[in-house]
Structure 1
């Protein structure tokens, strides 16, 4: 790692602000701002959601990961029609663009909507409208990763994949599994079918389920990136495998703190992951639920001891790990390198 003392605090803040970024692990529904959630909850008269912005912010104080999942699933009850999904996706795009995020691959909890009777076609119509408009208005490019909660079983995954294949819009690039980390073996055939249909394998693994979930994601789901993956650091052989294979790991430090995956931000393994030579990307996961955004995640990385060169490396890793086409990757990487050179890196 380079030395974080090379730039003053105002200079590092300007560097973070101006750094071209991608975001590869962020959830659409988990990006719903309290004001938007309040508006939609009132529109649809969702009684389990707090009735003030302050109440929603207090509601986002999670005791553990299962508590977070419960709040997350309750909040999505406010999303009912095409307009709701378009509103949310448009807000997410605008907020990302304001942070100089040029491209994002966004997880969509498709099964969470289908199980409430919201058709996949409605979800896709709303978010695709916002995606096309966001590129025209803000210049940001969005892509979608529909997923399902693993703890709901393989049947939920089959229903989700069937809906994706039946209604797949241009913006869908991958398929994922999240929720509480259960063994991944039951999903092997499901992910094989998704890959055969041209979808990228982008599962969550190793957030709090141990190194074995990461191994399963690699061996059984043929993961092309690992969502979270911090538990891999508990297994030196797995760290070696990730380094040698170059499979990227999408890390979200504040999320790990807020869901109690780590006890203190100083305990986060991000610096050790970089020192081990892993391809690490920096992300927010569910930003308003965790009181963060991507700028704050870069500030957090800096507080963990990473200098401007390391922050640029995280940004370059994000570009390299994305599914942007090669010319766009080259252009973004050149911008990152030029900014680092401008700041003396």
Structure 2
């Protein structure tokens, strides 16, 4: 099946997204609107000279935005181009300065949900780093209301994962966790740790994760991405997580792969993200197929689709055409996307039954998918 034909098939099949960052899925036209809105207020005038100098010196794609010369969708054509994880983090961080009012935040959520619906996603767990918006002056109560409002959208079911960001440390994470609990964020279902994986060890956040578990939250963590399998082991031993965000470097340790399979610890794998951040050299060298064949619960996600110039449907096409997944494996990872969700068992069954129905209606012959004749 060609990429064009497969895209048509994927449009008909209901999907989940378990690892997608809110601002990472920001539509480009949303960012263009915000750049235009704040072009003349001197956002960068208040930033430390050292930080501005670092951005200018190291990351050429950020210059035009910081200079106020980027104001349109077309101007952003080279913005989402970077080399390596640090460059990506700097680009991602810069965009946060343009969310300064609750209306900006609401615009972001609306755009991301519309994008997900366009990908035929019927269930999403969206990761959000709340502190990035609080520090821009948006009240946490207003953020809560927007998140809960989005969760009531009858076109898609949305739940939220709070990213405490490793770089900020465990004390910050614990304070924010207590505040989220006190303010009754109804649609928050779990927590994770993003940011620079090597900045702080997972064990530093043991108390945070224990408290979140006591609060009834589910637990995930970004591990086995920038750092090796030892990062995954530490998360499992000290934090007792339910899922691992990324986790692709677990493949470097056969004992860890065996443990993940035996204990049904899911991996939230984001193929194009791994390529664009330099974690994996190419799609052909990506370990997703090897992990699947070893019995690991693998899910397919996008991480930051706008920043990595991909979509969820594109990830499935890549998995089939470039990474060698069979039709049966494609269906398996789609099932995993609901099986591994932070949902009650009855809800999982409902989604799995719906997926089976739509899959069987759309693909009478599974073998037709595996023809790799390009897009």
Aligned residues: 335
* Residue in structure 2 matching 1:319, options 338, 344, 362: 338
Structure 1 residue 10: Cα displacement: 5.6
The structure 1 segments of at least 4 consecutive aligned residues displaced by more than 6 Å after TM superposition are none
Change (3 A) 1:9 1:55: closer
Q: Describe the SS at the equivalent of 1:250.
A: strand
**Aligned: 1:337 with 2:356:** yes
What is residue 19 of structure 1 aligned with on the other side? 13
Structure 1 residue 8: Cα displacement: 6.1
* 2-structure distance, mates of 1:174, 1:26: 13
Structure 1 residue 217: Cα displacement: 1.4
What is residue 214 of structure 1 aligned with on the other side? 232
Q: Is the 8 A contact 2:246 2:270 kept in 1?
A: yes
Change (3 A) 1:9 1:27: closer
**Aligned: 1:162 with 2:178:** yes
Q: Is the 8 A contact 1:208 1:261 kept in 2?
A: yes
TM-score normalised per structure 1: 0.92
Structure 1 residue 281: Cα displacement: 0.4
* Residue in structure 1 matching 2:130, options 110, 124, 128: 110
Structure 1, unpaired ranges of 5+: 1-6
Change (3 A) 1:80 1:128: farther
* 1-structure distance, mates of 2:8, 2:32: 33
What is residue 50 of structure 2 aligned with on the other side? none
Q: Deviations over 1:117-146 (max 9, x none)?
A: 4332222222322332x32xxx20000111
* 1-structure distance, mates of 2:184, 2:123: 20
Q: Is the 8 A contact 1:128 1:171 kept in 2?
A: yes
Counting only pairs closer than 5 Å after superposition, residues 197-208 of structure 1 correspond to structure 2 as 197-208=215-226
* Residue in structure 1 matching 2:159, options 143, 152, 170: 143
Q: Is the 8 A contact 2:36 2:72 kept in 1?
A: no
Q: Deviations over 1:252-275 (max 9, x none)?
A: 001111111112121111111111
Q: Is the 8 A contact 2:150 2:158 kept in 1?
A: no
Q: Deviations over 1:300-324 (max 9, x none)?
A: 1111111222111111000000022
* 2-structure distance, mates of 1:26, 1:246: 21
Q: Describe the SS at the equivalent of 2:210.
A: helix
TM-score normalised per structure 2: 0.84
Q: Deviations over 1:243-300 (max 9, x none)?
A: 0000110000011111111121211111111111110000000111110111101101
Change (3 A) 1:126 1:233: same
Structure 1 residue 11: Cα displacement: 5.0
Change (3 A) 1:82 1:127: farther
Q: Describe the SS at the equivalent of 1:261.
A: coil
* Residue in structure 2 matching 1:73, options 69, 88, 93: 93
* 2-structure distance, mates of 1:159, 1:117: 18
* 2-structure distance, mates of 1:273, 1:63: 26
Structure 1 residue 38: Cα displacement: 1.7
* 1-structure distance, mates of 2:87, 2:184: 32
What is residue 190 of structure 1 aligned with on the other side? 208
Across the aligned residues of Structure 1 and Structure 2, the Cα RMSD in angstroms comes to 1.8
Q: Is the 8 A contact 1:82 1:125 kept in 2?
A: no
